[in-house]
Structure 1
């Protein structure tokens, strides 16, 4: 097992986003769903509150000496911290306060999420309206700012919850599009040139290293996750939507597991589904057992190699479904550990 993975004691978690706008209710749910060592609580994100609480805005608020504001087209770089940046930071502080309240005395794994450097570069606009992705120098500056911001953020989380082993998850849903030159320009008539894979890998390695020897993960709920690149970049775990896995990618999965990379498998629907979807924990992970058998992997490695999650964030779900889905993830993970074959 990879020295930096460290998830074997925690068999279930969420992706990051939660429904609604009540920070205390969200913190109560993400801590209560994984009580008694049944999973990994995390710092919830509540995008329903509006710009600044969204995935990109949250991470813009973490940047050091770099600021952003909202335009009709999305987030754009600013010269100074304005209302939108201040709002993002204020909501993050509110979320940290709530998490701290519900983790008094907690010891164990605790996950925090931020948008990774390449999805951020594909989403953030320069002053002229084009994505930062089109400017190599801007991408380097953005990665450096993000690294410094994450160091401060991780230190703050450790200060507030001293018993936690903090897991850093980078969200990279646009990563494959960046690698394949599929990110569209502001006009929509062209795409940005594909970024060199070594540059992408090196930048991710630098950002993941911000957590030192602590556990790390990279999440993408998009198709065609570049498993090999993420492994080489040092990700301790790769988080993805299990339903999007193709036969072509299965070999990469086998190599990842044998190399010690853990898998956060999104097997539980991320939006309200029929009650039957959450009625059979064993059924939710039957495909995982089948995959293990097909790849010739030892069933005994399931409990140390797999963390069960929703297929993506829960922001679009109802609060009741979000609570049920996280609880179901914990039950499905127990089922997998108790009955690996």
Structure 2
């Protein structure tokens, strides 16, 4: 029996999909990934369906709206926020229909506080990231909204063991001090790792298995571990050799690895064995027992699938599922 919510040789997706048919996309996800499905996101639908807007719809007492420069805090909820909430409500209705009777792990995704703070502007000023108090308020609002969202998903799919993924592609830039100001002419000061971990910890729910996804170079594994994440999700192609020691320490400590091994856009898919090879090679280089590989590593596309066609997205999920089964085989027999 696995110590993780999923069975061994599991595969899943990162989050986004092409198109606007949420019911068909849900059927695809549950059909191709029956062991670890997730609630897909469809940014092609427009305002409020993007990563920032979708998560903004969860915020409590912190309304935002779209301005020419992007999302910005406002005095009261408006049309943009209503659209975001309507998109999510339709998705949850579809989830309830497609997942009727489902039992097992189910992943949901929301934008993390640091990437959100680097994208949303204050009412009359710079990005929220420029104000430590605003970031604290944002994290608190997101934590409250995420808790309500998690409860809603559990009520709609009572047999699900919900896994929560925070998407933090902007976190390396936050820590490095490379996030541009609202004007674009400067850079916001770097955030110290302990502060970054504290805000992440405040958002990660304590009553669910949690994963933090970062599809950027230099994933801050020490920050994610300090925040208490149960798993890290990253692109195998962007993993640097100098980061492998810290990754090995995280795995040794029991953290799950969601490893992106299949292109997320229209690039040709690798053969099944080739898709599994990055995980096998990395695991062997880190010196872990082969028997733990299929249990502790989940295979995914390298990032979201919004840039692919519906057929390519389906094929990418199928290839991840097939490659995950290879991880269960003895290398000497394969």
Unaligned runs of 5+ in 1: none
Q: 1:281 aligns with which of 263, 272, 278?
A: 272
Equivalent runs, 1:156-175 vs 2, <5 Å:
156-175=152-171
Paired with 2:195 and 2:89, the residues of 1 have a C-alpha distance of 33
Q: 1:199 aligns with which of 195, 207, 210?
A: 195
How many angstroms does 1:135 deviate by?
A: 0.6
Equivalent runs, 1:45-84 vs 2, <5 Å:
45-84=41-80
Q: Does 1:33 align with 2:2?
A: no
Paired with 2:93 and 2:53, the residues of 1 have a C-alpha distance of 19
Could you say which residue in structure 2 is the equivalent of 1:326?
317
SS at match of 2:328: helix
Moved more, 192-201 or 109-118: 192-201
Could you say which residue in structure 2 is the equivalent of 1:123?
119
Is the contact between residue 133 and residue 192 of structure 1 (CA under 8 Å) also seen in structure 2?
yes
Paired with 2:170 and 2:42, the residues of 1 have a C-alpha distance of 20
Paired with 2:103 and 2:139, the residues of 1 have a C-alpha distance of 31
Is the contact between residue 215 and residue 235 of structure 2 (CA under 8 Å) also seen in structure 1?
yes
Q: 2:246 aligns with which of 248, 252, 256?
A: 252
Q: 1:152 aligns with which of 144, 148, 155?
A: 148
Paired with 1:127 and 1:273, the residues of 2 have a C-alpha distance of 41
Paired with 1:144 and 1:155, the residues of 2 have a C-alpha distance of 17
SS at match of 1:42: coil
Paired with 1:201 and 1:127, the residues of 2 have a C-alpha distance of 26
Could you say which residue in structure 2 is the equivalent of 1:11?
10
Paired with 2:38 and 2:255, the residues of 1 have a C-alpha distance of 20
SS at match of 2:327: helix
Paired with 2:158 and 2:101, the residues of 1 have a C-alpha distance of 8
Structure 1's consecutive aligned runs of 4 or more residues displaced over 4 angstroms after TM superposition are none
Aligned residue pairs: how many? 332
Paired with 2:318 and 2:288, the residues of 1 have a C-alpha distance of 27
Paired with 1:292 and 1:41, the residues of 2 have a C-alpha distance of 24
Structure 1 pair 8–252 and aligned structure 2 pair: CA distance change class (3 A): farther
How many angstroms does 1:7 deviate by?
A: 3.7
Q: Does 1:97 align with 2:97?
A: no
Paired with 1:2 and 1:24, the residues of 2 have a C-alpha distance of 31
TM-score (norm 1): 0.94
Q: 1:215 aligns with which of 206, 209, 215?
A: 209
SS at match of 2:207: coil
SS at match of 1:266: strand
Moved more, 88-97 or 226-235: 226-235
Unaligned runs of 5+ in 2: none
Is the contact between residue 290 and residue 330 of structure 2 (CA under 8 Å) also seen in structure 1?
no
TM-score (norm 2): 0.96
Q: 2:231 aligns with which of 237, 253, 262?
A: 237
Paired with 2:131 and 2:109, the residues of 1 have a C-alpha distance of 25
Paired with 1:68 and 1:125, the residues of 2 have a C-alpha distance of 9
SS at match of 2:292: helix
